[in-house]
Amino acid sequence: MNILLWHVHGSWTTSFVQGKHRYLIPVNDARDAWGRGRARTFDWPDTVEELPLEQIRDADVAIVQRPEEIDLIPPSLPVIYVEHNTPKGDVPNTRHPMADRDDLIIAHVTHFNQLFWDTGSTPTTVIEHGVVEPKARWTGELERLAIVTNEPVRRGRVTGTDLFERFTPVAPLDVFGMGVRDLDGPRITAHEDPPQAAMHEQLARRRAYLHLCRWTSLGLSLIEAMQIGMPVLALATTEAIAAIPEGAGILSTRVDTLVEAAHWLIEEPEEARRMGERARAAALARYGLDRFLADWDHLLEGHTCASR
**Which CATH number goes with the domain that contains 13?**
3.40.50
Which tens digits make up the pLDDT trace of 243-296? 999 999 999 999 999 999 999 999 999 999 999 999 999 999 999 999 999 999
Q: What is the CATH number of the domain that holds 239?
A: 3.40.50.2000
Residue 228 belongs to some domain of the structure? yes
Determine the residue type at 61.
Answer: V
Do 78 and 63 form a contact (C-beta atoms < 8 A)?
no
pLDDT at residue 194, as a whole number? 93
Average pLDDT rounded to a whole number, residues 35-44? 91
Percent of the chain with pLDDT over 70: 100
The CA distance from 187 to 179, in Å, is 18
In this prediction, residue 305 has a pLDDT band, given cuts at 50, 70 and 90, of: confident
Do 50 and 37 form a contact (C-beta atoms < 8 A)? yes
In a domain, 136, yes or no: no
For the stretch 76-120, pLDDT in tens is 999 999 999 999 988 889 999 999 999 999 999 999 999 999 999
Q: What is the pLDDT of residues 175-193, one digit of tens each?
A: 999 999 999 889 999 999 9
CA dihedral 26, 32, 37, 39 (to 10 degrees): -150
Strand partners, 24: 4, 49
Indicate if 281 and 295 belong to the same structural domain.
no
Q: What is the pTM of this model?
A: 0.95
294 and 165 fall within a common domain:
no
Q: Examine the domain organization and report whether 282 and 148 are in the same domain.
A: yes
Judge whether 68 lies within some domain: yes
Kindly give, in sequence order, each residue whose CB lies less than 8 Å from that of residue 139, ignoring residues fewer than 6 positions away.
204, 205
Residue 213: inside a domain, yes or no? yes
Whether the pLDDT of residue 304 is over 90: the answer is no
Whether residue 101 is found in the same domain as residue 161: no
Q: Please name the residues in contact with 184: beta carbons below 8 A apart, sequence gap of 6 or more.
A: none
Determine the straight-line distance between the first and last CA of the chain, rounded to whole angstroms. Answer: 14
Same structural domain for residues 263 and 234? yes
> Which candidate, 214, 293, 211, places its Cα nearest to that of 244?
211
- Pairwise CA distance, residues 230 & 232, whole Å: 6
Report, as an integer, the average pLDDT of 155-166.
97
Q: Are residues 276 and 300 in the same domain?
A: no
Same domain for 160 and 114? no
Query: Which residues span the domain enclosing 263?
Result: 142-286
Give 121-145 pLDDT, tens digit per residue.
999 999 999 999 999 999 999 999 9
Determine, yes or no, domain membership for 135.
no
- The pLDDT value given to residue 308: 62
Q: Examine residue 137 and state whether it is found in any structural domain, yes or no.
A: no
Does residue 71 sit in the same domain as residue 175? no
Question: Are 197 and 87 members of one domain?
Answer: no
In this structure, are 149 and 276 located in the same domain?
Answer: yes
The Cα 114–Cα 66 span in angstroms is 16
Is 37 buried (19+), middle (13-18) or exposed (0-12) by CB count in 10 A? middle
What per-residue string of b and e applies to 196-216 under the rule 16 or more CB within 10 Å gives b? beebbbbbbebbbbbbbbbbb
**Does residue 155 sit in the same domain as residue 115?**
no
Could you give the number of structural domains in the chain? Answer: 2
Residue 209's nearest CA partner among 245, 234, 242, 180 is 234
Q: Rounded to whole angstroms, what are the CA distances from 2 to 202, 212, 228, 303?
A: 36, 38, 32, 14
> Would you say residue 65 lies in a domain?
yes
116, 223: one domain: no
* Mean pLDDT of the region 36-55: 94
Query: In b/e form, how buried is each residue of 235-265, taking b as 16+ CB within 10 angstroms?
Result: bebbbbeebbbeebbbbeeeeeebbebbebb
